[in-house]
Each structure stands twice: as structure tokens, then as C-alpha cells.
Amino acid sequence: MDLSTEIAGIRFKNPLLPAAGPLTGDDTKMKYIASLGVGGMVTKTISTKAAKVPRPCIVATRDYVVNAELWSEYGPNEWIEKFLPGIQSLEVPKIISIGYSKEQIEWLIPKLKDFGDAFEISTHYVGKDLDPIAEVARTASKLAQKPVFMKISPHMPDPVEFARVVTRAGASGVVAVNSLGPAYYVDPKTGNPPLGSENRYGWMSGPVIKPVALSIVQRIRQSLDIPIIGVGGVKNAEDVVEFLEVGASAVGMLSSALIFGKEQYKRVVDELEDALKKRAYKSVRDAIGKKLETHRADFTVKNPIVDLEKCTLCKLCEYVCPYFAIKVTDHVNVDLNACFGCGLCESRCPTRAISGVLQ
């Protein structure tokens, strides 16, 4: 199966990229991540000065990560003299992540541009005003003479307007999204917030943010025909397909490789073909944008239908129903007058014995 994809004229052998972060923080790490089969490389964000990173700076549960990492802990000289020359032999497209202000971008791009195929520009720490962001996009596109992708953070109030403004200013596309927050994580074992950052704040990422990221990618792509790298909460190959379906042309992943281990990149790449086949796609490109249709709100109430062959009488549906409409005895009784058609029981039933409510 053809797993290749193309973004702004750059061909990737498959759509999975490492999202900017600690796993792509130097050349040794990037070579290892490339060896796991990813389709391209995205560096940790480089700025004009090394970041002074508070410690501890990463905590994780099975469902999310909270980090206080800022950008690269190495200054531009290490990147220019060692890390970027060190990855030139990699046979995948290289996207150099940089940040943040117009002045910093002006200083960085001429020094870095020969080492990469494209730039990704983080807008994480520059506020919500779109004018300076557009200015950065304009400056970067002029100086780079190669594709520039502006990375949006989920706290931006209007993602479509962000994408419109940066592409009008010359950017080739967007990366959606960065981590969500600020977030305040408390360790359940100690009752204390463990991060070393100011006020102990961090940024949240990983599987729980996937629905937020999918919605932002979809909203942008429904309004604008631009290349999007979808990022946020990817854990497996099915998630990659979901991002393609809402309009992403490539897909980044980081937190799941922090939660489950770096080999997660290999697992996702290995499973991608099957995940595409399961949804009857013939290639990666075939899946892109297949779920972009708009949907009018539906107010029809549908009630659950219970398949007693599959039901184990576990009672979960009774416990969770917010409208007190289910009673489980030696079968499942649904009070049709009380049922609101909310769908929760169907989504929570562990044996898929309930159908008829969700679309």
C-alpha cells in the first residue's frame, strides 16, 4: 500500500512525524527516532538562546503528559555546529522547529536554512494577537525560501482566522496543535504539584487532547484548502487515520512515545496499513479529508436497543445513566419516557451490547 504523503511539495514516505520535543533534542536522538521508521523529522524548537528549563519538567499518566520544557536546552551554536550537520545523512525530510519573535526568526533562519527542507515556527509563547504572528510568518517565508508551517496552540481563540492570516502572510500551512494549558498537575501519591516551573504550571498533551486537536484540524481544513500537520494525542495507527480523515496531510506524535516508550513510533508505522484497510482506504492520500462534511444539529431522540446475547448484566449502563432510565434485573429495562437519548450508556457498555443511539 502507498503510505506516502506530500506537504507543500515535500514527499514523506509515511505520514508519521515525531512532534517537536525532547525525543528530537539532538542528533543522536533524532537518528534513533528515524530508525523507528517515521516519515520525517521535526527538531526540538531552537531559539536564539538555550532555554533555562526548570526541573522536574515532565510528568505523565497513561492518558496525558504535563510538561514545563520550554524550547531546546541547547543554544543555536550546538545546533548549527553539531546536531543539524549530524542529521544530514538521514533519508527523511527534515523540518526545523524555531521560535519565537520576528527578530529571533530573522537571526535564526539564515543560519539554519541549509540544514532543512522546511521550517515549523512555534507561536506558543507569543500571545494571542495575530498581527505579530503574521509578521513572523511573512518574515520567515521571505527569508527561508522554503515551506514554512506555523504551529498553533490550542489556546488561540480562532484557529481558522490564525490559519487564514498566516497563510496570507506567506506560510505554506499550519501545524495543529501544540500542548494545552496552562495546566496544574497534582501527584496523587503525594498530593503535591511536582513540576519545578514557576507556580508549578505546565502544558498538557497526550491521548486526552486528541478530540480538541481533531476539531481544530477539521475546522481549519473545512474553511481553507491548506496543508496541515495534525498533532495532539495520537497513540496508535487508528488515531493517525482519524487525523487524515479530518484533513491533515501528515501527523505528529510525541506524548504517547513518552508514556508508552519510544518504540511506539515503530508500532504506529507498522500498524498503519491495517488501520487504513480497516476503513477501506487504498492509500494514505485516499484517506485525507474524507470526514470534512459539515453536520446540522440533530434533535431526534433515539433510544438504546440492547442485545441480550452480548449483555453480561454488568449494570454499568444503569449506574451511569444520567436520566435514571435504565434498570438491570435479569435483563436490561429501558424506560422510554425517561430516556433522553443522550448516548452515554452505548458509549460505556463494555460488551457493545447497546446500539441504536449513537450515529
Instruction: Give the shortest CB-337-to-ligand SF4 separation in angstroms.
Output: 11
Restricting to residues 297-356, which ones interact with ligand FMN according to CB under 6 A? none
* Binding flag, residue 254, ligand FMN (CB under 6 A): yes
HEC assignment per residue over the chain: CECCEEECCEEECCCEEECCCHHHCCHHHHHHHHHCCCCCEECCCECCCCCCCCCCCEEECCCCEEECCCCCCCCHHHHHHHHHHHCCCCCCCEEEEECCCHHHHHHHHHHHHHHCCEEEEECCCCCCCHHHHHHHHHHHHHHHCCCEEEEECCCCCCHHHHHHHHHHCCCCEEEECCCEEEEECCCCCCCCCCCCCHHHEEEEECHHHHHHHHHHHHHHHHHCCCCEEEECCCCCHHHHHHHHHCCCCEEEECHHHHHHCCCHHHHHHHHHHHHHHHCCCCEHHHHCCCCCCCCCCCCCCCCCEECCCCCCCCCHHHHHCCCCCEEECCCEEECCCCCCCCCHHHHHCCCCCEECCCC
* Binding flag, residue 358, ligand SF4 (CB under 6 A): no
* Amino acid found at 92: V
Rounded to whole angstroms, the Cα distance separating 325 from 334 reads 6
Pick from ligand SF4, ligand FMN, none: which does 336 bind, CB < 5 to 8 A by kind?
A: none
* Binding flag, residue 137, ligand SF4 (CB under 6 A): no
Contacting range for ligand FMN; rule: CB under 6 A; set: 15-23, 84-92, 108-116, 133-141:
15-23
Residue of 144, 217, 253, 326 interacting with ligand FMN (CB under 6 A)? 253
Instruction: Give the shortest CB-100-to-ligand FMN separation in angstroms.
Output: 10
Instruction: Give the shortest CB-45-to-ligand FMN separation in angstroms.
Output: 4
Restricting to residues 257-316, which ones interact with ligand SF4 according to CB under 6 A? 304, 306, 311-316
Instruction: Give the shortest CB-298-to-ligand SF4 separation in angstroms.
Output: 14
Pick from ligand FMN, ligand SF4, none: which does 249 bind, CB < 5 to 8 A by kind?
A: none
Would you give the binding string for ligand SF4 spanning residues 314-353, x where CB under 6 A is met? xxxx---x-x-xx-x---x-x----xxxxxxx---x-x-x
Restricting to residues 98-127, which ones interact with ligand FMN according to CB under 6 A? 122
Instruction: Give the shortest CB-152-to-ligand FMN separation in angstroms.
Output: 10
Instruction: Give the shortest CB-46-to-ligand FMN separation in angstroms.
Output: 9
Chain residues that interact with ligand SF4, rule: CB under 6 A: 304, 306, 311-317, 321, 323, 325-326, 328, 332, 334, 339-345, 349, 351, 353-354, 357
Q: Which residues bind ligand FMN (CB under 6 A)?
A: 19-22, 44-45, 58, 65, 67, 69, 71, 97, 122, 151, 178-179, 205-206, 209, 231-234, 253-255
